[in-house]
Structure 1
Amino acid sequence: MYRRNLFVKRILCLVSFLLFLAGSVLANSSKSGGATWFNTGLGACGAFSNNGDNIVALSPVDYAAGLHCFKKINVHHQGKTVTATIVDLCPSCGKSAIDLSQAAFQTLASLDLGMIEVTWEYA
């Protein structure tokens, strides 16, 4: 009985470790999607921000019920990069789509474009 319990514990530790590694790889993989801009204020993470801050709102899938609040992402568009802090939820964004503050969006492109294609990853 003891040997069986020890074997089960070892298997559970191995599975936990493998899931941790898989999560790390997925979290650091690059994502592609559309980026729009929005007027800031009180975000879903509970912090106030203004249009001059480099902040981002994630889709419900990527927001993961606030799991990534206050983490940073690097956003890339046509050779330009901006680092933005996750402070909000974008309910209308599809998976991997993001909503940037005016300042973050303007680092990548003109606000007049409204929407651009980007790649991004957790910093």
Structure 2
Amino acid sequence: MSRVGFFLFALFASVLLVLAAPVPVQDGELVDLEKRLTRVGRGTWYYPGLGNCGKRNGDNDLVVAIGKGLYDRNKGSNCDQWMEIVNTANGKKAYGMTRDSCQSCGDNDVDMSPALFKKISTLDTGKITVSWHFMNRSWKP
């Protein structure tokens, strides 16, 4: 009988530990773990227009398109969310607002407006390696 009692106690304790796991909160707001992930991928530039987020932007706006697969999985929830982008070759950092999705981009890739790309490289470069992550939803530069 003591083995059964010990087993039930261990099972009950395990369930309580799982339920008591902390929920990530930042500035009083629940944090999606996906949005804290730093990704490393390809950085390119494009001429923005009317993006998937339903807003029109131009070449001088600091906007970015994320991979279509990531955009679709997140159901566009990253629209108007800022991200920090770092050129891994030179360490230059810039901030861009998510306004579109990129059909040819993978989950780790970003496509930037010319103005944003120029903050971390030259347009002649065309393609660079970047690390990036989403900022807290309430963050603004």
TM-score, normalization by structure 2: 0.71
Give the TM-score normalised by structure 1: 0.80
Corresponding position of 1:34: 42
For the residues of structure 1 that align with 2:120 and 2:109, how far apart are their CA atoms? Answer: 15
Gaps of 5+ in 1: 1-6
More helix by share: 1
Q: Which residue of 1 aligns with 2:81?
A: 71
1:103, CA displacement in angstroms?
0.4
Output aligned runs, 1:39-118, within 5 Å: 39-63=47-71, 64-77=74-87, 78-118=90-130
Q: How far apart are residue 65 of structure 1 and its match?
A: 2.5
Percent identity between matched residues is 30
> CA–CA distance in 2 between the matches of 1:65 and 1:90?
14
Q: Which runs of 5+ in 2 are unaligned?
A: 1-11, 25-30, 136-141
- For the pair shown, the structure with the greater C-alpha radius of gyration is 2
Stretches of 4+ aligned residues off by more than 6 angstroms: none
Q: How many residues align?
A: 111
